[in-house]
Amino acid sequence: MQRNRLTTTAVALTAALGLAACGAGNDASTATAGAASTPAATAAASSGSTPAAAASSTSNASGASTSSALLADNAKAHAEEGDPAYDAEDVVKVTLQDGASSASTQTGVQIDGDTVTISAPGTYVLSGTLTDGTIVVNSADEGRVRLVLDNAAVTNSQGAALNIVAADEAVVVLEEGTTNSLADGTGYDTSAEDAPNAALFSMADLTIGGSGTLKVTGNTNDGIASKDGLVILGGTVDVTAADDGIRGKDYLVVQGGTVTVTAGDDGLKSDNEDDDTVGYILLAGGTTTVDAGDDGAHAEGDLAVTGGSVTITKSNEGLEGANVVIAGGTSSVTASDDGLNATQGSSSGGGGMGGGGMANDGSQLVISGGTLVVDSGGDGLDSNGQTTISGGTTVVYGPTMNGNGSLDSNGGIDVTGGTVLAAGSGGMAEAPDTSSTQGWVQLGFSSNVTAGQTVQIVSGDTVVASFTAKKDYSNLVFVGDDITSGQSYDVYVGSGSLGSDQLATFSLGGSTDGATKVGSVTAGQATGGMGGPR
């Protein structure tokens, strides 16, 4: 990119660090670190025909074994792509109306005032409005209960608007071209074990699909909650919740559709702690946007992004799980604390000290593909165990305070491929391990590089990388194919300007016009922060 006129005060380089010779190829030749652009050659993981297929896919061969191994033991998701399909000639039509609801047949449907109970497998098409009523599913028989919402609106001041007490499997179908809504009341009692605590609540495996729209408002607790597994295959799902937005206890899978969540606590959640096969979140397709009061997505087990688009616009910690895998798709994470956080919640037998000076708890943060942009107030990429990067393009706008770093890993950082640009404060700055096979450099500045300035890493007459930050930083780590251990690189600094979207830019290449050389660094040498060689 063309350089703007440099600032009047040059930023002095005090040190730099780098590592081994170039390893596996990265996924992109250029990248824009913003919501609207992705690297042209980024390989997204296959969306697959089922959630199970998507879970096992990765976009970089060198990272596939690690990514797939972490996810392989997860319980298989129950849903299949064809679950929302139904025969329009073989349905029970239920018309909702205050005090006068009706059904086309009494088989499998009981109506008591404004409570409509479905007690047998089959397909039920619901339309109309209940201003203070509820839909109950209580089917003890084997077989799928399919609820087709066809411009249905249900509000229940005393509890869940849709309460699935029992079913072999429940499927909510959003009919094409329709807008549907479910809302519960405020302050009802949810203290009993397995009490419904969401506007859409299910004790059974729950699937949501179709192409219509569903608006869910959880005024007391959660928006959508399943005590088993929860899979979203399609539709436009808009959730607002006082507590968690969408929760699947055993697992939460987003395979398609457009999901928007505004939550007072966690946006997406899976909280089964029984064993390491459950409690996972898989974002494999579709478009997901989350505004959360606490974590954007929180999994007691694994949290994986393998495809689609994921945007965390507001959170305390962005993506958190016992293991965190980014294997494809496009992710943008904004967090007041850690952007990505892999944590088991405890150290492994009081294990030794890792690169971040803390105990290694055995968790893993794995990036093998896709595009990831993180803006964090705390650590950018934080692993209480090991961090492994083998592909993809990762850009981190890290912390400005010295108590955190753009990269933080108790078990060390192993980089074998991909492109990483991580900028943040210098006090806790960390860089890849000496065992890494992908080359990298670390730049330490005696004073902050300010927002809008551009730093370039140059080899001879070639600009290897250009970065214009959206906020101040004093330490920068760059990992890429064009960095070779032991080689010297010049560093240029000049003024720049942010785009109208206020997202800064990163590219592999550029021009030094209007910039000033402020120093040189050697790949393979470290200084400052927590970044000494290991």
- The per-residue pLDDT for range 130-155, each reduced to its tens digit, is 999 999 999 999 999 999 999 999 99
Spatial distance between the Cα atoms of 288 and 236, rounded to a whole number of angstroms: 10
**What count of Cα atoms within 13 Å lies in the side-chain half-sphere of residue 273?**
4
In this predicted structure, what is the pLDDT of residue 22? 28
Checking if the pLDDT of 335 tops 70, the result is yes
Q: Residue 517 in contact with residue 459, Cβ under 8 Å?
A: no
The mean per-residue pLDDT over the stretch 56-78 comes to: 70
Half-sphere exposure of 525 (CA within 13 A, CB side): 12
Please tell me the chain's helix, strand, coil percentages from 3-state DSSP, rounded to the nearest 5.
Answer: 5, 45, 50
Q: Any idea which residue has 């040498």 for tokens?
A: 525
Mean local confidence (pLDDT), 303-321: 98
Residue 501 is predicted with a pLDDT of 42
Helix (H) or strand (E) segment spanning residue 173? strand 169-174
Tell me whether residue 505 is exposed, middle or buried, using C-beta atoms within 10 angstroms of its C-beta: 0 to 12, 13 to 18, 19 or more.
buried
- Interval 334-349 mean pLDDT: 80
Secondary structure string (H, E, C) spanning 26-95: CCCCCCCCECCECCCCCCCCCCCCCHHHHHCCCCCHHHHHHHHHHHHCCCCCCCCCCCCCCCCCCCEEEE
Provide the token pair at 359: 């105990």
Phi-psi region of 210 (alpha: psi -120 to 50; beta: other; left: phi over 0): left
Tell me the average pLDDT across 91-102.
98
66 or 430, greater pLDDT? 430
Burial class, 138, CB count within 10 angstroms (exposed 0-12 / middle 13-18 / buried 19+): middle
Alpha-carbon separation of residue 467 from 15, 423, 493 (angstroms): 18, 9, 10
Q: pLDDT tens for residues 206-249?
A: 999 999 999 999 999 999 999 999 999 999 999 999 999 999 99
In angstroms, the CA 213 to CA 156 distance is 19
**pLDDT over 90 percentage in the chain:** 70
* Neighbour-count burial for 14-30, b at 16+ CB within 10 Å, e otherwise: ebbbbbbebbbbbbbeb
CA distance 39 to 418: 12
- Per-residue model confidence (pLDDT) at position 64: 52
pLDDT at 527: 60
CB 200 within 8 A of CB 178: no
Give the pLDDT of residue 513: 87
pLDDT-derived band at 65 (thresholds 50, 70, 90) equals low
List pLDDT tens digits, range 156-192: 999 999 999 999 999 999 999 999 999 999 999 999 9
The average pLDDT across 363-383 equals: 96
pLDDT per position as a tens digit, 103-128: 999 889 999 999 999 999 999 999 99
Model confidence at 68, in pLDDT bands (50, 70, 90)? confident
The torsion angle over the Cα atoms of residues 492, 498, 502 and 504, rounded to 10 degrees, is -30
pLDDT given for residue 70 in this prediction: 83
Do residues 14 and 446 lie in contact, with contact meaning Cβ atoms separated by under 8 Å? yes
What's the rounded mean pLDDT across residues 468-497? Answer: 89
State residue 16's pLDDT score: 27
What was the pLDDT predicted at 524? 74
- pLDDT 10s digits, 246-297: 999 999 999 999 999 999 999 999 999 999 899 999 999 999 999 999 999 9
Alpha-carbon separation of residue 330 from 88, 169, 284 (angstroms): 37, 31, 11
Distance CA 118, CA 141 (A): 12
Mean pLDDT of the chain: 84
